[in-house]
Amino acid sequence: MTQAPRPPLPWTTRISVAVASAVTDAARRSNGTVNRRLLSLLDARSRASAKPHRGVRSADVVVDPVRHIWFRLFAPSDSAAAAGEPFPVIVFFHGGGFAFLSPASRAYDAVCRRICREVRALVVSVNYRLAPEHRYPAPYEDGTDVLRFLDRGGIASADPAAAAADLSCCFLAGDSAGANIAHHVARRWAAGAGWERVRLAGMVLIQPFFGGEERTEAELRLTRGADRDHEASNVFGTRAAAGELEAALPEAMVVVGGFDPLQDWQRRYYEGLRSRGKAARLVEYPDAIHAFYAFPELKQASALMEEIKRFVDAHRSPAK
């Protein structure tokens, strides 16, 4: 059997990837449940900080205490923010296979802080309910409820800079499972009525999780087995809902890594959007692993931040 190719990574990154894999493996039980108590000990977390750190403040905002839905708001803290400069809003959904991590996980706190600082945007990092305790479509419902919360003006009191949030220039973003959630929340936004403030200007889908029962070339080459044909993952498949809502979706930026087993499905998603007449942009990093953006030492992580900034800047609301 031919050995799968190895991505070019620094040894420090390889160690970090190995540790992350060990943590998820240790917390995952054989019956499909997750040992949350053990995971709470292994998942390194960062607190929200009203004191600026590298030009960014953060605060946790509760949306629904019963369902434990909240978000971490990241806001610029420089003079432009103090002067009330309008900022686009990026609603971010973290990855983790729908079952792991949160906005407080150290890696995602760092990623969202970096997006806020380098893109010059308010970042709303959503804590949604996790599987397997909360089944489909719980994360999609939670994400939509956060959008409704923003639409009702719930962000305004979270931070002084949030008063200048430009919700007419709102982006949905996410990575892996979070990018899948961003797509489905966008469809619910398109299907909903009564939106007063929130207008979706675009989607940033970083290595989105999409799949199907068919095993693609990359899955055969980089993994063992694949059997996913639910409408949640195979969004343009035969079981998917009717596609008329796609006409109302905003432009999407789809990010693909050459060492990501999901890459074929990600390109199919991009092609599916284009075939339905939707504007879409494909950004590829041939040497990138899944979740490369969480490792700031990788050059592709810096390149991605530049691409996100260009995409957001191209869709900013004109100066008033």
Catalytic residues: 176, 260, 290
What is the side-by-side strand order in the sheet with 87-93?
56-64, 69-76, 122-127, 87-93, 165-175, 200-206, 252-259, 280-289
Would you say 206 and 174 are in contact if contact means Cβ atoms under 8 Å apart?
yes
Would you say 85 and 164 are in contact if contact means Cβ atoms under 8 Å apart?
yes
Would you say 96 and 176 are in contact if contact means Cβ atoms under 8 Å apart?
yes
Instruction: Tell me how far apart the alpha carbons of residues 209 and 55 are, in angstroms, rounded to a whole number.
Output: 32
Per-residue burial over 192-206, b if 16 or more Cβ lie within 10 Å, else e, is: eeeeebbebbbbbbb
Tokens of 123: 């970042």
CA distances from 67 to 70, 114, 138 (A): 9, 28, 10
Using alpha carbons, select from 201, 161, 203 the residue that is nearest to residue 185: 203
Using alpha carbons, select from 59, 238, 243 the residue that is nearest to residue 154: 59
Residue ranges of alpha helices (H) inside the chain are 11-27, 36-42, 79-82, 106-119, 138-151, 177-191, 217-222, 263-275, 299-314
Residue whose pair of structure tokens reads 């087993």 in the numeric block: 261
Would you say 134 and 66 are in contact if contact means Cβ atoms under 8 Å apart?
no
